[in-house]
Structure 1
Amino acid sequence: MNNLPLIIKREFISRVRNKTFIIMTFLSPLILIGMIGVISWLTTLNNDEIREIALVDETGKFIQDFKNTENVRYLDYSKLSLNDAKDSVVIKKLYGLLYIPLKSTNAELSKAIQFYAEDSPNLSVINPIEDLIATKLTNQNFEKEGFDLTTIENSRAKVNIQIENFTGEKTSKMSNYVKMFFGGAAGYLLFMFIIIYGNMVMRSVIEEKSNRIIEIIISSVKPMQLMMGKILGTSFAGMLQFLIWVILGGVLLLITSSLFEVSPSPVASGAAIDAVQSNSNEIGLLLQDILRLPLIFLVCLFFVYFVGGYFLYSSIYAAIGAAVDSETDSQQFMLPVLIPLMLGIYVGFFSVIENPHGTVSTIFSMIPLTSPVVMLMRIPFGVPWYEIVISVLILFGSVIFMTWFAGRIYRVGILMYGKKASYKEIWKWLKY
Structure 2
Amino acid sequence: MSVLSLIIKREFIAKVRNKSFIVMTFLSPLLIVGMSFLIGYLVNMNNAEVKKVAIHDESGIFKNDFKDTKKTIYVDLSAMPLQVAKDTASKSYEGLIYIPKVNNPKELLTKVEYISDDSPSMDFIMSMEEVIDHQLTQNNLKELGFDYDKIEKAKTNASIHLTKFSGEDSIKGLNEIKIVIGSAFGYLIMMFIIIYGNFVMRSVIEEKTNRIIEIIISSVKPFQLMLGKIIGNSLAGLLQFTIWAIVGITLLIGVASFFGVQTGAQASINPEMINAAQQEMGGTMQSYIKEILNLPLGTLISCFVIYFIGGYFLYSSLYAAIGAAVDSETDSQQFLLPIIMPMMLGVYVGFFTVMNDPHGTVATVFSIIPLTAPIVMLMRIPFGVPWWQLVISITLLFGTFLLVVWFASKIYRVGILMYGKKPTWKELYKWLKY
TM-score tier (shorter): 0.7 to 0.9
Give the conservation status (yes or no) of the 8 Å contact 2:96–2:114.
Answer: yes
Q: Which runs of 5+ in 1 are unaligned?
A: 257-273
Question: Aligned pair in 2 of structure 1 residues 254, 330: CA closer, same or farther (>3 Å)?
Answer: closer
Q: Is the 8 A contact 2:8 2:229 kept in 1?
A: yes
Task: Note the C-alpha offset of 1:418.
Answer: 2.5
Is structure 2 residue 388 aligned with structure 1 residue 389? no
1:224-373 aligned at under 5 Å gives the runs 224-242=223-241, 277-281=279-283, 283-373=285-375
TM-score (norm 2): 0.85
Aligned runs of 1:105-254 on 2, under 5 Å? 105-242=104-241
TM-score, normalisation: structure 1: 0.85
Q: Deviations over 1:363-395 (max 9, x none)?
A: 222222222122222222322222222111111
Tell me whether 278-287 or 408-417 shows the greater mean CA deviation: 278-287
Question: What residue number does 2:77 align with?
Answer: 77
1:325 deviates by 1.8
Instruction: Output the amino acid matched with 1:383.
Output: V
What are the superposed Cα offsets for residues 122-150 of structure 1, whole Å, 9 maximum, x if unpaired?
Answer: 12222222222322333333444444444
Is 2:102 aligned against 1:103? yes
Distance 1:42 1:187, change over 3 A: same
Structure 2 CA distance for partners of 1:17 and 1:94, relative to 1, 3 Å: same
Contact 2:33 / 2:248 at 8 angstroms: preserved in 1? no
Q: Within 2, Cα distance between the matches of 1:156 and 1:26?
A: 58
Q: Which amino acid aligns with 2:61?
A: K
Give the Cα separation in 1 of the matches to 2:380 and 2:34.
Answer: 28
Query: Tell me, what secondary structure is at the counterpart of 2:427?
Result: helix
Deviation by residue 1:401-422 (Cα, 9 ceiling, x = unmatched): 1111011111122122223222
Q: Which runs of 5 or more structure 2 residues have no equivalent in the other structure?
A: 257-275
Q: Deviations over 1:139-164 (max 9, x none)?
A: 33344444444433332222333433
Q: Give the residue type in structure 1 aligned to 2:220.
A: V
Name the CA distance, whole Å, in 2 between partners of 1:190 and 1:374: 11
| Shift, 1:112, TM fit | 2.7
- Helix, strand or coil at the partner of 2:119: coil
Shift in alpha-carbon separation, 1:249–1:151, aligned structure 2, 3 A: farther
Note closer, same or farther for the CA distance 1:238–1:148 as it changes in structure 2 (3 Å cut).
Answer: same
Mean Cα deviation higher: 14-23 or 370-379: 14-23
Q: Secondary structure at the match of 1:73?
A: strand
User: 1:83-108, CA deviations, whole angstroms, 9 ceiling, x for partnerless residues?
Assistant: 43323322x15222212233333323
- What does residue range 48-63 of structure 1 map to in structure 2 within 5 Å? 48-63=48-63
Greater shift, 156-165 or 316-325, is seen at 156-165
Letter in 2 for 1:160: S
Amino acid at match of 2:368: M
Task: State the Cα distance separating 1:243 from its structure 2 match.
Answer: 5.1
Q: 1:431 aligns with which of 425, 430, 433?
A: 433
Question: 1 CA distance for matches of 2:230 and 2:75?
Answer: 67
Instruction: Give RMSD over aligned pairs.
Output: 3.1
Quick check: 2:197–2:312 contact (8 Å CA) kept in 1?
A: yes
Indicate if the aligned counterparts of 1:239 and 1:303 stay in contact, CA closer than 8 A: no
Return the offset for 1:171. Answer: 4.4
Work out the CA distance in 1 between the residues paired with 2:321 and 2:419.
Answer: 14
Match of 1:407? 409
| Per-residue deviation, residues 243-280 of structure 1 (Å, max 9, x unmatched) | 56677899999999xxxxxxxxxxxxxxxxx8652145
Distance in 2 (CA, whole Å) between partners of 1:424 and 1:111 is: 62
- For residues 289 and 33 of structure 1, do their structure 2 counterparts lie closer, same or farther at Cα, with a shift above 3 Å needed? farther
Write the deviation string for residues 186-229 of structure 1: whole angstroms up to 9, x where unpaired: 12211111111111111111111111211221222111111111
Name the SS of the counterpart of 1:63 in structure 2. Answer: coil
Q: In the alignment, residue 383 of structure 2 is paired with which amino acid? A: F
Alpha-carbon offset, residue 289 of structure 1? 4.0
Return 215-224 or 37-46, whichever deviates more.
37-46
Deviates more, 1:376-385 or 1:188-197: 376-385
Matched letter for residue 56 of structure 2:
V
Q: Deviations over 1:29-58 (max 9, x none)?
A: 564454444334323323333222111112
Helix, strand or coil: the match of 1:64?
Answer: coil
Look up the match of 1:264.
none
Give the Cα separation in 2 of the matches to 1:389 and 1:347: 21
Separation of aligned partners in 1, 2:194 and 2:223: 22
User: Does the 8 A contact of 1:174 with 1:286 survive in 2?
Assistant: no
| Partner-residue secondary structure (3-state), 2:64 | helix
SS of equivalent residue, structure 2 residue 7: helix
Equivalent residue of 1:354, what SS? coil
Residues 27 and 381 of structure 1: CA distance in aligned 2, closer, same or farther (over 3 Å): farther
- 1:20, 1:169 → 2: CA distance? 53
CA distance in 2, matches of 1:219, 1:47: 65
